[in-house]
Amino acid sequence: MTRRIAGQLVGGLISILGASIIAFLFMRVLPGNPARLIVGPLASQEAITQQEKAMGLDQPLVVQYWRYIKGIITGDWGFAYTSGETVRHEIVARLPASMELGLYAFLIAFVLAVLLAVLSTYRHRPWLDGSVRTASFLGLGTPPFWFGLIALLLFSQVWGIFPGPDGRLGPDTIPPPTVTHFYTFDAVIAGQWGTAWDALRHIALPAITLGLAPWAFLVRLLRANLLEVSRENFLVVVRSKGLGRRPAFQKHALPNAFLPTLTAAGLLLAQLLAGSVLVEKVFNWPGVGGLIVDSILRQDFAVVQTFVLLSAILYVCVNMVVEILYSVVDPRVRLPVMK
């Protein structure tokens, strides 16, 4: 097990290194000169050269890359010259909002997918099964930003159940003292129940919107796998031992059917935590998506480099957790141990 985790770690580090090189080169291969963007269109060639020198752009790529890696490790992520703030400040201000939204979206998608897949396959329930299949079909086909707009229109504008798109909290609510950067958690930690409720109400619609497609994907996957496993011969054997339908399902069918869902859920979680541009825009969510798009357009490569690397680290970490869970559930993926 330890050897397996060590192997995972090495693999993860290599992936992160690869991602850092790609992110680094990508921003430099793009046409355009960030130094010129900073000093403005009317600046002289001399001013541009000076700016390049100040940013270290005159150095060889290897040196630039070394500085970038060193900066990442020491916590100096550089400056976002479009805003004048440090990259760290920009990302710390926005990433938690995206991660909180992604986490809730994931929880909604995952829990509902497991629940509905199990309920619609455990017993023959044509009505429920049909509804789940239709809903998941629609969920996969509906663009999330469009669904978000409709949800806002109905649940906020028409029925007033949820607040409008005013970000993470209502205009009158003061953010809770920072501990985790997740407002719902921080408010509960501080005992500010009103704020927690407000934060929950604000995150509900965007989280549902963002979680819809992953839910649809997971529910279809798990449903199909459950149906497949329920035809497996070993379930007949289990039943012939005298186990009831439900223990056979819980102890044998579900663990076997769950493996592909586990992998998919890990990938989806990493993707959701890294933010989504369109849904954040629709709900005015102060997440990282908008920042990254703007930064790419303005060639603010310190921001993009850092973000790509952070999301690579996130992916690697989530995947490692999934791999470890996987080997706990499925003995076949464990490395053969020579005896």
Partner 1 sequence: MTAAPRDLVLDVGDLETNYYTQAGVVEAVRKVSLEIERGHRVGLVGESGSGKSTLALSILGLIEPPGRVVGGSVVLNGCDIAKFSDRQLQKVRGRQVSLVFQDPMTALDPVKTIGAQIAETILRHRRIGRRAARRNAVELLRDVEVPQADRRLDDYPHQYSGGMRQRVLIAIALANEPDLVIADEPTAALDVTTQAQVLDVLERLVTERRTAVMLITHNLGVVAEFCDRVFVMYAGRLVERASADDLFACQAHPYSEALLRSVPRPDRLQRGPLPTIPGSPPSLAHLPPGCPFEPRCPVGHGLDVCRTQVPVPVAVGDPADPIVAECHFAQERWSAAVGRSASGGGT
Q: Give the interface with partner 1 as residue ranges (CB under 8 A).
A: 124, 232-234, 236-245, 251-252, 255-256, 329-332
**Between 92 and 328, whose beta carbon lies closer to partner 1?**
328
Could you list the beta-strand ranges (E) of 67-164: 79-80, 85-86
Shortest Cβ distance from residue 220 to partner 1 (Å)?
A: 22
d(CA 270, CA 263): 11
The distance of closest approach from Cβ of residue 321 to partner 1 in the complex, given in angstroms and rounded to an integer, is: 19
**Least distance in angstroms from the C-beta of 219 to partner 1:** 22
- The sign one gets for the Cα dihedral 61, 63, 66, 71 is negative
Alpha helices in 158-300 (DSSP H): 183-189, 193-229, 233-240, 245-248, 254-273, 277-282, 288-297
Of residues 243 and 317, the one with the C-beta less far from partner 1: 243
- Residue identified by tokens 């269109």 is 41
- Is 130 or 255 the residue whose CB approaches partner 1 more closely? 255
Distance CA 110, CA 115 (A): 8
As measured in angstroms, the least distance from the Cβ of 124 to partner 1 is 7
- The CB-of-118 to partner 1 minimum distance in angstroms stands at 17
Residues 194 and 170: their CA atoms lie apart, in Å, by: 11
Q: Which is nearer to partner 1, 179 or 333 (CB)?
A: 333
Min separation Cβ 263 and partner 1, Å? 15
CB of 4 to partner 1, least distance (A): 16
**171 versus 242: smaller Cβ distance to partner 1:** 242
Both tokens of 329, joined, read 């559930």
Rounded CA-CA distance 99/116 in Å is 25
CB nearer to partner 1: give 3 or 332.
Answer: 332
Hunting for tokens 């935590």 — which residue is that?
Answer: 273
For the record, the structure tokens of 27 come out as 């921003």
Which residue's CB is nearer to partner 1, number 44 or number 233?
Answer: 233
Place of tokens 């930003």: 145
* Minimum distance of partner 1 from residue 249's CB (angstroms): 12
Buried b (16+ CB within 10 A) or exposed e, 163-192: bebebbbeeebeebeeeebbbbbbbbeeeb
Burial of 65 (0-12, 13-18, 19+ CB in 10 A): middle
The CB-of-255 to partner 1 minimum distance in angstroms stands at 5
Residues in the chain: 339
**Cα–Cα distance between 173 and 288 in angstroms, integer?**
22
Residue 187 or 248 having the CB closest to partner 1: 248
Is the CB of 158 or the CB of 337 nearer to partner 1? Answer: 337
